[in-house]
Structure 1
Amino acid sequence: MKAMTQMMTVAAATLLLMACGNNDSTSEVSGMTLTQAVNENPARDPENLKRDVYRNPIETLTFFDVQPDMTVVEIWPGGGWYTEILAPYLKEQGQLYAAHFPQSETRDFYVNSRKKFVERVASDEAFGAIQVTEFAPSENSAIAPAGSVDRILTFRNLHNWYMGGGNQALEGAFATFYTALKPGGILGVVDHRLPEQRPVTEQDSSGYMKASIAIAAAQAAGFVLVAESDINANPEDTAAHPRGVWSLPPTLSLGEQDRARYQAIGESDRFTLKFKKPETSS
């Protein structure tokens, strides 16, 4: 990575959280602090809690400086792993947009995932204030009103867009994010990391992405890279598995084959990137 890029470790992010104290000090006005939204939140599925050790939600959201009074867009929330945290955290003062799969999508997985999510928003009080929109990387998606968003967050999605549409899909995605963000707004990106020395063709099917590819696509859209973090790094992951990233937990696509070995590795090595839309952007 370029020397000018600020590197933050888990320890650094944790120190930032402790030093600022903003998330816990806002409890009287926000209703739920970030720590409470992660650790004391009845809306969270117990199975999701088990993955905190790999997904590091407190450190990650602190690194992206997500505050309870912000307007936030979560891209492709899937079943709502991060939504379970963001929804109660933002409920009192902020606004959460969940830009889910497009309604025009006809494939069963996408249709069923969106349907289940929409039903949960309608029935779960913790999800009640969410605005469900849609996103497709190849379209000019209205994920939120233009220029209205403080934070856009996308977790482990870039590889899907790249495998489906290559660099053109990435260009479309980052252009959409740029349009929705306010000047000065932050885009947070997490994805499975492909080592830089590996052939770029491995991105076509492995589920891993080079951080340099993500950075270049964001910068081409006008974003400035503010910082990188190793919060979600896993040095045990070589990114060289028979069925790509899906060989690892939680998917374990090889079944019982080498299961203990993959469980010992844990979830994937991930890059965590923080981009900013310039203040002077029109």
Structure 2
Amino acid sequence: MTRLSIPALALLLAACAGTPTSSSEERAVMPATDAALLAAVADPGRDAAQRARDRYRHPAETLAFFGLTPTDTVIEISPGSGWYSAILAPYLRDAGRYVAASATPAPGRSNALRAVFAADPARYGRATLVEYDSKAPSLGAPASADAVLTFRNVHNWVAAGSADAYFQAFFAALKPGGTLGVVDHRARPGTDLDTMKKSGYLTEALVVDLATRAGFVLEARSEVNANPADSADHPNGVWTLPPTNRHDEADKAKYAAIGESDRMTLRFRKP
């Protein structure tokens, strides 16, 4: 992938801005571009394999849509191997706070992010790693965060039957007026729950219902992570597609051409 300069990224963000459809719910509305965010995304110190996925995950546009600022306290839920950590930790390092929140590992296992953070103190030295009980998640002091973000995790909680507990924990952790940002694989409207659990794709309606039951207000939607080439009906669900690639070798080119999944990008607010 060609690395974009900061001016080029700024132009890209401006081009992605949309027009509100109503005062209560906007579509694809982004705040003014943020030089610190653009620099964090363009940083050549990011892992090359992670940067190669920017064309699917659109980190600058996504984080701009969520309205982050460098002074925020941001909790990222289940950051996995730290793809977004590599952007958020340096972005928030000087004036904000980045918290990576993960479920407590099973006995005998460790959180992979501990080693990642320890290996690069210049990038992660001020980041915080916290663990919680996956059955009863708690994210620290109530009303302490400006934003809670989760990327491609809600489908796992829906399958495990714990999604309501997570959204309640998000609500508790956020300050009044705080933002919940959600990205996940998007099912076709009307898809039944069993199919969603098996496929890893969720309807936007289900995610909105989970959030509003917890007390959130849907503020905006963005199509920045949409992929019209994804039909969302693959034999091994979303895991058929990159980066998991759970398919026959003969189908490699077919699924590579589709790319990563079609994704919803939703911004909620705590009243």
Please name the residue that 1:36 is paired with.
39
SS of 2:38 mapped into structure 1: helix
Question: C-alpha displacement at 1:136, in angstroms?
Answer: 4.3
Within 5 A, what are the aligned runs for 1:10-25?
A: 13=30, 16=31, 20-21=32-33, 23-24=34-35
The question of 1:244 aligning with 2:237 is answered yes
The question of 1:161 aligning with 2:164 is answered no
User: Distance between the aligned counterparts of 2:172 and 2:26, measured in 1?
Assistant: 26
Alignment length, in residue pairs? 249
Question: C-alpha displacement at 1:124, in angstroms?
Answer: 1.0
User: Aligned match of 2:172 in 169, 174, 179?
Assistant: 179
User: Distance between the aligned counterparts of 1:144 and 1:67, measured in 2?
Assistant: 21
User: Distance between the aligned counterparts of 1:84 and 1:266, measured in 2?
Assistant: 22
User: Aligned match of 2:147 in 151, 155, 158?
Assistant: 151
Please name the residue that 1:131 is paired with.
128
Question: C-alpha displacement at 1:6, in angstroms?
Answer: 2.1
User: Distance between the aligned counterparts of 1:136 and 1:231, measured in 2?
Assistant: 32
Q: CA RMSD in A?
A: 1.7
What residue ranges of structure 2 are gaps of 5+ in the alignment? Answer: 1-20
Please name the residue that 2:18 is paired with.
none
SS of 1:173 mapped into structure 2: helix
What residue ranges of structure 1 are gaps of 5+ in the alignment? Answer: 25-32
User: Aligned match of 2:187 in 194, 202, 215?
Assistant: 194
Q: Percent identity?
A: 43
Residues 99-132 of structure 1 show CA distances to partners (whole Å, capped at 9, x for unaligned) of 01214x34x7xx34x1x21122123120111111
The answer to whether the 8 Å contact 1:239/1:245 transfers is yes
Amino acid at match of 1:146: P
Please name the residue that 2:98 is paired with.
96
User: Aligned match of 1:119 in 115, 118, 121?
Assistant: 115
The answer to whether the 8 Å contact 1:97/1:144 transfers is no
TM-score, normalising length: structure 2: 0.87
Amino acid at match of 1:199: D
Question: C-alpha displacement at 1:255, in angstroms?
Answer: 4.2
Please name the residue that 1:54 is paired with.
56
User: Distance between the aligned counterparts of 1:127 and 1:231, measured in 2?
Assistant: 27
User: Distance between the aligned counterparts of 2:44 and 2:146, measured in 1?
Assistant: 24
